[in-house]
């Protein structure tokens, strides 16, 4: 068991709405990364947080934002939802420094459907 938990597991939102996804990191891990997995594709890196600060960002627009809390849990916020945002959102936790990290352990994901 990885110890990374995500909520909710499934979510349906309407285009234009805002959504917040949550992730609880594995105990002892100080780094959280978020990935978007579209159907039939591999996960795509959204951004990473290390000790509450953003530590790298993928090719996603600013309406994708995040937070990491002192207990290293994390949120992913998406504003102005678009149909193409429908995907599985994965949270992964790891431990290390700003530049070096151990293997990432993933949560079960949140399936977001935008209608």
Partner 1 sequence: DQQVKQNSPSLSVQEGRISILNCDYTNSMFDYFLWYKKYPAEGPTFLISISSIKDKNEDGRFTVFLNKSAKHLSLHIVPSQPGDSAVYFCAASVPTQGGKLIFGQGTELSVKP
35 in contact with partner 1 (CB under 8 A): yes
Q: What is the DSSP letter of 83?
A: G
**Which secondary structure element, helix H or strand E, spans residue 90, and what is its range?**
strand 87-94
Name the one range near partner 1 by CB under 8 A: 13-21, 28-36, 66-74, 76-84.
Answer: 28-36
3 in contact with partner 1 (CB under 8 A): no
108 in contact with partner 1 (CB under 8 A): yes
CA pair distance 102, 36, nearest whole angstrom: 20
What residues between 42 and 101 interact with partner 1 by CB under 8 A? 42-45, 48, 50, 55-56, 58, 90, 92, 94, 96, 98-101
CA pair distance 1, 48, nearest whole angstrom: 22
CA pair distance 23, 17, nearest whole angstrom: 20
What is the C-alpha R_g of the chain?
A: 13
Site for partner 1, rule CB under 8 A: 2, 4, 6, 31, 33, 35, 40-45, 48, 50, 55-56, 58, 90, 92, 94, 96, 98-109
């Amino acid at each position: 068991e990885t110890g990374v938990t995500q909520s909710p597991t499934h979510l349906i939102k309407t285009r234009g709405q805002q959504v917040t996804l949550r992730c609880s990191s594995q105990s002892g891990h100080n780094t959280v990364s978020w990935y978007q997995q579209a159907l039939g594709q591999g996960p795509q890196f959204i951004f990473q947080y290390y000790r509450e600060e953003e530590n790298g960002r993928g090719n996603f627009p600013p309406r994708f934002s995040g937070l990491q809390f002192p207990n290293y849990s994390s949120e992913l916020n998406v504003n102005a939802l678009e149909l193409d945002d429908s995907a599985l959102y994965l949270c992964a936790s790891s431990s290390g420094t700003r530049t070096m990290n151990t293997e990432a352990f993933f949560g079960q994901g949140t399936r977001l459907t935008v209608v």
